[in-house]
Amino acid sequence: MSVTEYITRLTIKSARDLPKTDRLSKIDPYMVVLVNGQQFKTKVKDDNENPDWNETFGARLLKHPSGLLQGSLELNLYDEDTFSDSYVAKYVLDLATLTQAQLGVPLTFSLEYVKDKYKSQGRHPTVTIQFDGLVQSFYSLRSMFAAMPGFLTDDTTQACFIPIAESNGLIYVCVDYDSGGKIDFKVYVTRPNVPIYMDLLVLAGAQYTKVRRKLFRDGRAVAGGRLTVYEELKLDDVPVNVDFNNLSLIVFDSHPLSSTNADVVVTAHGWKGAMNFAQARERLHNVEVDDKTQEIYMTVDAGETMLLVDYDRDDADIKLAVLASPTTADKGYDLTIRGQNVNKMSELYVPPIPKLHGKFHVTRLFELDDLQYGTRFDDIEILRFQLSNPRQYTMQGLTRIMG
């Protein structure tokens, strides 16, 4: 089935040369947008004849059967008043006239007065808007995949759960629609303790990819309770104007190589009891110290990983830094907590970022989120895997979100 409805990021950027609606003050303008049965309203800009809003909305637009879009977009200018707001001007855009070349660029239109009395001021009001990206809406995606075995939806949260066919139900991709024209992409594993290692990354150019990762020891119900998952990878708030051919999921087979815990690492460097940054800097040996960022690096696997204690905030955060090296290219790493549900974050740097004035370069960073107070170092596990048999997918290929 073909695409029926798109979502775009519609930004109401600004208006210029707006008239007064009374003699005592300038206009207090706001815009009301009507499109495809939806209504959006900007904030009021007090006493401003040249307002800048830069407010973005996630608008659903109907696909034209033989073209790009159909329907109309109404832009209505109002003046906020104490007792009754004044309807000042409007512009109606025929969406069938919108071309692909007009996406991602500011479009300025002349507003038409709704009353002749405003014309005497000699002003020529305009409004500037921008459309960014066109991707399938929840309803369109749900219709497209409805006949796919294993496909699930959560209509309450507007999320689609798409199984990767060759995984036999092991791996699902979730497209979770947010307001404001953004999408959360999630990857789920539906069985516990499966020997795979997964990564989400951006393929094009110099990129920084931040992935939230969760482990559910006893499983977590999603899709209205119809699917139980044990691992989640998540990319937050992906804007719809991204090229989803450049957003990739890679799945590896993994084989355990080694494991240790944070207590073994810090004890080997002289850690005893609770220490602040100054104490750790003075007492620890064979460590690397960044005084500016208040970070202390301790070797885990020589030339591969370092345990990082970050004092930059109120608490000491525990991180695992993976170094840029030929020996790390075919390996996977993890920082986790034994026997618990785990929230964590991984950051991928392309190219690797320099640390300690370029003494070494970090390609990936793992950080434990919401670490419970009193968590012991010996409960924080550092895992190392040999990776093989990579399977690479694009989000466009898996979800057909761009149609």
Take residue 306 and report the two structure tokens written for it. Answer: 């370092």
Beta-carbon count within 10 A of 399 CB = 23
Which amino acid is residue 10, in one-letter code? L
What pLDDT, on a 0 to 100 scale, did the predictor assign at position 24? 77
Take residue 322 and report the two structure tokens written for it. Answer: 């993976």
- Number of structural domains the chain divides into: 3
Beta-carbon count within 10 A of 169 CB = 13
What pLDDT, on a 0 to 100 scale, did the predictor assign at position 397? 97
198: pLDDT confidence band, cut at 50, 70 and 90?
Answer: very high
Last residue of one domain, picked from the residues 110, 134, 158: 134
The residue range of the domain holding 314 is 257-387
Inter-residue contact 78 to 32 (CB < 8 Å)? yes
The share of the chain scoring above pLDDT 90, in percent, equals 81
Q: What mean pLDDT do residues 307-325 have?
A: 87
What pLDDT, on a 0 to 100 scale, did the predictor assign at position 268? 95
The CATH number of residue 12's host domain is 2.60.40.150
Q: Are residues 69 and 87 in the same domain?
A: yes
Inter-residue contact 179 to 300 (CB < 8 Å)? no
* Residue carrying structure tokens 């007009």: 102
What distance in Å separates the CA atoms of residue 341 and residue 267, rounded to the nearest whole number?
26
Q: Are residues 247 and 157 in the same domain?
A: yes
Q: Are residues 158 and 210 in the same domain?
A: yes
What pLDDT, on a 0 to 100 scale, did the predictor assign at position 314? 62
What pLDDT, on a 0 to 100 scale, did the predictor assign at position 204? 76
What pLDDT, on a 0 to 100 scale, did the predictor assign at position 1? 55
Q: Are residues 336 and 240 in the same domain?
A: no
Inter-residue contact 162 to 398 (CB < 8 Å)? yes
More confident residue, 371 or 32: 32
28's CB contacts (< 8 A; 6+ apart) are 44, 45, 46, 47, 48, 79, 80, 81
Sheet containing 247-261: give its strands across.
196-202, 247-261, 380-394, 331-337
Distance of CA 303 to the CA centre of its chain: 32
What pLDDT, on a 0 to 100 scale, did the predictor assign at position 2? 67
Last residue of one domain, picked from the residues 105, 134, 163: 134
Q: Are residues 67 and 145 in the same domain?
A: no
Q: What is the pLDDT of residues 206-242, one digit of tens each?
A: 678 999 999 999 999 999 999 999 999 999 988 888 8
More confident residue, 316 or 128: 128
The share of the chain scoring above pLDDT 70, in percent, equals 98
65: pLDDT confidence band, cut at 50, 70 and 90?
Answer: confident
Element (H, E) at 151: none
Q: Are residues 395 and 374 in the same domain?
A: no
Inter-residue contact 51 to 175 (CB < 8 Å)? no
Inter-residue contact 103 to 131 (CB < 8 Å)? yes
Q: Are residues 239 and 270 in the same domain?
A: no
286's CB contacts (< 8 A; 6+ apart) are 269, 298, 299
50: pLDDT confidence band, cut at 50, 70 and 90?
Answer: very high
Q: Are residues 217 and 282 in the same domain?
A: no
Question: Is the torsion defined by CA of 162, 164, 170, 176 positive or negative?
Answer: negative
Q: What is the pLDDT of residues 356-366, one digit of tens each?
A: 889 999 999 99
What pLDDT, on a 0 to 100 scale, did the predictor assign at position 155? 95
Q: Are residues 264 and 373 in the same domain?
A: yes
Take residue 358 and report the two structure tokens written for it. Answer: 């370029």
Q: Would the pLDDT of 320 be above 80? A: yes
Which region among 39-48, 274-283, 385-394 has the lowest average model confidence (pLDDT)?
274-283
Inter-residue contact 352 to 362 (CB < 8 Å)? yes
Chain-wide mean pLDDT for the chain?
A: 93
Beta-carbon count within 10 A of 258 CB = 13
Q: Are residues 52 and 98 in the same domain?
A: yes
51: pLDDT confidence band, cut at 50, 70 and 90?
Answer: very high
Q: Are residues 281 and 249 in the same domain?
A: no
Q: Are residues 189 and 233 in the same domain?
A: yes
What pLDDT, on a 0 to 100 scale, did the predictor assign at position 205? 66
HSE-CB of 195 using CA atoms within 13 angstroms: 11
Last residue of one domain, picked from the residues 92, 118, 134: 134
Q: Would the pLDDT of 22 be above 90? A: no
Q: Would the pLDDT of 292 be above 80? A: yes
Q: What is the pLDDT of residues 151-177, one digit of tens each?
A: 999 999 999 999 999 999 999 999 999
